[in-house]
Each structure stands twice: as C-alpha cells, then as structure tokens.
Amino acid sequence: MIPPDTLPMHLMLAMMQAGVWNSASHGWSSNSQDWWNAWTPFLPRPRHPLEAQASALLDQWQSLVAGQSEALKNLLGQNPEFFQALTQESSQQTREFLEGVAAYTSAQYQRPEKKYRVLWQQGSARLLDLAPEAVDAVAVLMVPSLINKFYVLDLYPGASLAEYLAAQGYRPLMLDWGSPGAAEEDFTTGDYITAYAIPALQALRAAHEGPITLAGYCMGGIFAVAMAQLASFLVDGLILLATPWDFAAEDTPRVLLDPNAQTMLRSVIRGFNPVPPIVTQTLFHLINPWHVQKKYAKFLTTTGAARKHFLAVEAWVNDGVPLTQNVAEECFVDWPQGNILARQQWKVGRRWIAPESIPCPALALIPKHDMIVPVGTARPLTRLLARCDVRMPESGHVSMVVGSQARKECWEPVAGWLEEKF
C-alpha cells in the first residue's frame, strides 16, 4: 500500500510522544539521525522522499524540547513510579503505531476494476450511471466532494451506497469531478457548479422520466444546495450527507479558524496551482493528530474482511485530488474564516445562495461523531431549509457511508425517505 503523504508528520508526532519523556528522564544524548535510523525499518521502501525534511524538523523540535527537560524532571520527579509508567505507555503506543505503519505499507490491496456507463462528460467531469435502464425510477444524483474521489460512494461490492440504491430499484448516478487540468485551472467552486454540475443535471433530466433527487456528501452537499436553488425546476428532492454550513459554530475545528493559521495557509495555497492533496490531508489530520496513530496501531490486530475494508478505505483516503488555487482558498479560508455560506455571501453565477429559497423536500444525515463536520457546523443548514427531515446516525464522517453500520445508519434511512417522499 502507498503510505499517506502526511506520513512524515505522523512520524514526527510519534517521535515527540516517545521522545519527550525520554528526554525528560535522560536528556538528549543523540541527534535526530539516530532516532531516524532506529525507526527507518518501519518505513516503506524506497525511503520516503520527505525523510530529510522530517529529520530536519526533528532537529528543530529537539532543540526546543531540550530546554523543557529540566522542568519535566522537576514536575514529575516527586512521583517516579508514575513517570516511569507514563514513559512506558508512550513508548508502547509509539511502537504499536510504527509496527502498524509497517504492516499497512507492506499489505496489498487493489480496488476491483469497474466500468461505468458515462451519461455525460465535459472537461474533467463525468456523470456515471449505475442503472441506465431505470428511466422511470427515482434518480439519485450523488455529488461528492472535490477533495477526494467519488468512489467512496461505490467502494467495492457490499460496501457501496450506489449499488445498494440500485438494488432497491432506484437509479443512482455519481458525478466524478476528475482532476483539474488546463481547462479548470482558474475554476472557483461556483464554476464547477455552473460549468459542470448543472449541465450534468440537465443531461440527466433529458434522459430520465422519473423524479430526480440530489445527494451531496460533505462539500458535495454544499454544491447540491446551490444546484437545488439554481435549477429548482429540475430537482425533486435533496439529500445532505455530513454537509457543513455554519463555521461559527462552537464545535467547528479550530485549525480552520485561527487568523494566523489562515494567513499562513493562504500564502501556502497561493504558491501552488493546483494545490496538492498533501495540503488538504494535513489540514484534516491536524483536527485530531493522534487519530492516525490509533488507527494504524489497531490495524495490527485487524484480520479477514475487516482488514480488507480498512485497506479499501485507506486507499481512498490517501487517493486525494488536487484542488485549483481558487477552490482551495474558498474552501479552507473564505468558507471557514469568513463564514460566507452561513452569511449568504457565497455567489454562484450571478445569484447569492440562500437555502431558504429551495422548495423541494430535503433529508439531512448528520453523524453524531463526525470530527470533520461536527453537528453544530451542519445543523444550522437544516433550519434554513423549508422542508427538511433530520437523522443523526451513530457514526463518523466516513463510517456513515462505508462503515460496518453504514447500511443501518445511512443507506436504509436514505432509501426509506425516498420511498416515503416519491
């Protein structure tokens, strides 16, 4: 398996976790290269291209921590048994994480090949049709985020919201945004909607006789809201899956809101076009930096179908998509820092997006344990929609659509709502 682009960052965190206690008890007696040499057996081969940069970062961190060693000694010196237990635990967690990374990078997984019927195509975007014969059924046009590829909605047989809907008699379609090329290099989020999303919707309307419902996942939900307003005469229903809206909510991840971080982030974004996936992945990992360590440590004891599923999900997570400079700046600066969605200052084409003007019925699934789009960030949108039902599954951001309880918590409620409304 290909390791995540952010692996050096996670290795730095692991080094910090283990090293801070060792430094406090023993002082720094070795340099970062010694640390790195001790841990390189756990790295994939060939050696990670960012190894030198990671080692340099550790050197900087080491010099900072060295000055804190004495304070840590004084703080915990009165309870050496506790300090020893803490040191042992941090070392054990680091060891399990590194062994988990080694096991993951040596594992083999290939997503099953699947050919899709392409109903519409323009630029980098395609509309994929999973049930072209179901022209009288309810069509569900699934709109994914621009950040990751569409196939989380059709991960593999048995872990596919799209296939489940097709089996229930609906006509699922997926909007594949592709990767931005020369035609999209100056695109904004609004351009993706007006140039690709709405023409794809129009093409579906021309080829379909039954009702059409939009189903947007994460950022795709934001896009679906705009589509439902701008092309309301084509849309009969709206489904929102873990869709953010109000970034002024108290549970919004702080990493997206700090003014100093935003200044730095805007500068980073303006240095690329397109903006590489590592920028996006780093932002999301900083929301909960220790989650990755726990995840890979758990992989050590994962077997059978659960192991295959872990590899499939991680392959998707690490298969990021670059973003145009304009899109990245909107999504990571203007949306959270300016809160332009909730303040109705997001303009698509020549119209401001105002969810309260959407006439069709809506369903919002807001995962209770979502750390990417917390409940408080998603809930305000549902209050703006005139006809919105709300479900709150016991799941997280990704597990809602592909987790072990996804069928019960997400797929069946979506199908039940479609049956009730249409």
CATH 3.40.50.1820 fits 117-251+356-421, yes or no: yes
Residue 69 and residue 23 in contact, taking contact as beta carbons nearer than 8 Å: yes
- Average pLDDT of 47-67? 51
Crossing angle of helices 277-287 and 259-269, rounded to 10°: 160
Residue % of the chain over a pLDDT of 70? 81
- Average pLDDT of 59-82? 59
- Average pLDDT of 383-412? 97
- pLDDT over 50 at 236, yes or no: yes
Q: CA–CA separation, 200 vs 214, rounded Å? A: 12
The per-residue pLDDT for 44 is 44
Q: Comparing 65-74, 86-95, 116-125, 294-303, which segment has the lowest mean pLDDT?
A: 65-74
The per-residue pLDDT for 212 is 98
Crossing angle of helices 7-26 and 80-106, rounded to 10°: 160
Q: Counting beta carbons within 10 angstroms of the beta carbon of residue 300, is it exposed (0 to 12), middle (13 to 18) or buried (19 or more)?
A: middle
Q: Radius of gyration of the chain from Cα atoms?
A: 23
- Work out the mean pLDDT of the chain and round it to a whole number: 86
- pTM for this entry: 0.85
Domain ranges of the chain: 7-106, 117-251+356-421
The per-residue pLDDT for 15 is 63
Q: CA–CA separation, 352 vs 371, rounded Å? A: 28
Picking from 249, 197, 231, the residue whose alpha carbon sits closest to that of residue 375 is 249
Residue 243 and residue 216 in contact, taking contact as beta carbons nearer than 8 Å: yes
**Mind listing the pLDDT tens digit for each residue in 130-162?**
999 999 999 999 999 999 999 999 999 999 999
Residue % of the chain over a pLDDT of 90? 63
Q: CA–CA separation, 65 vs 300, rounded Å? A: 31
Beta bridge partners of 156: 159
The per-residue pLDDT for 47 is 46
Beta bridge partners of 370: none
Long-range contacts of 157-165, Cβ-Cβ distance < 8 Å, separation of 24 or more: 157/112, 159/309, 159/312, 159/402, 159/406, 161/401, 161/402, 161/406, 161/410, 161/411, 161/414, 162/130, 163/130, 164/407, 164/411, 164/415, 165/140, 165/411, 165/414, 165/415
The per-residue pLDDT for 175 is 98
Using CA of residue 119, residue 112, residue 396, residue 11, what is the dihedral sign? negative
The per-residue pLDDT for 127 is 98
Give 383's pLDDT tier (boundaries 50, 70, 90): very high
Beta bridge partners of 323: 275
The per-residue pLDDT for 93 is 84
Give 75's pLDDT tier (boundaries 50, 70, 90): low
- Average pLDDT of 252-261? 72
The per-residue pLDDT for 18 is 59
